[in-house]
Amino acid sequence: MTALTDLIKHRPPMRLIDRFINGDSVETTAHCEVTITTDNLFYRDELGGLPAHVGVELMAQSIAAAAGYRNRGAGEDIKIGFLLGSRKYQCAIDRFPLGETYSIHVAEIHAESSGLSVFQCEIKHHETVVANAKINVFQPPDEAAFIEDTYE
């Protein structure tokens, strides 16, 4: 199993996903998992878990893992990416309860040479889909130049 630290730049407490299960470096897909604990940055005692909207970030970090897996497979370094937005995020549950494990599946469905991509994403609890969305992301082709231009 590939370690998440080899695939994404997120580090605790901002890393919300726990495990990279598998991926496809050609198709840019990933299957990741998270088990909900009180250590999660977005855990809320009053909910006994994570708010439902945190599912978008679980998806986004799984996309980062898919991109990292693709880059590593090509012999490249992992790169930063930016979550631009989601389309049609639907969540059938009002929270992600403490102690439960969820599988996050992401697959790139559109990619442009500019670095813009769209991913189809879903979160499953056991085999039941509890959340899904299309997520728009941007991974600049030249990370250093992009950051330099952004902060000048």
- Summarised one tens digit per residue, pLDDT across range 40-91 is 999 999 999 999 999 999 999 999 999 999 999 999 999 999 999 998 999 9
3-class SS of residue 79: coil
**Single-letter amino acid, residue 79:** K
Query: How many domains does the chain contain in total?
Result: 1
- Dihedral sign for Cα atoms in the order 60, 130, 30, 40: positive
Residues 6+ apart with CB under 8 A from 69: 2, 7, 20, 23, 24, 25, 30
The CATH number of residue 30's host domain is 3.10.129.10
pTM of the model: 0.94
Give tens-digit pLDDT for 3-32. 999 999 999 999 999 999 999 999 999 999
Q: Which domain holds residue 116?
A: 4-150
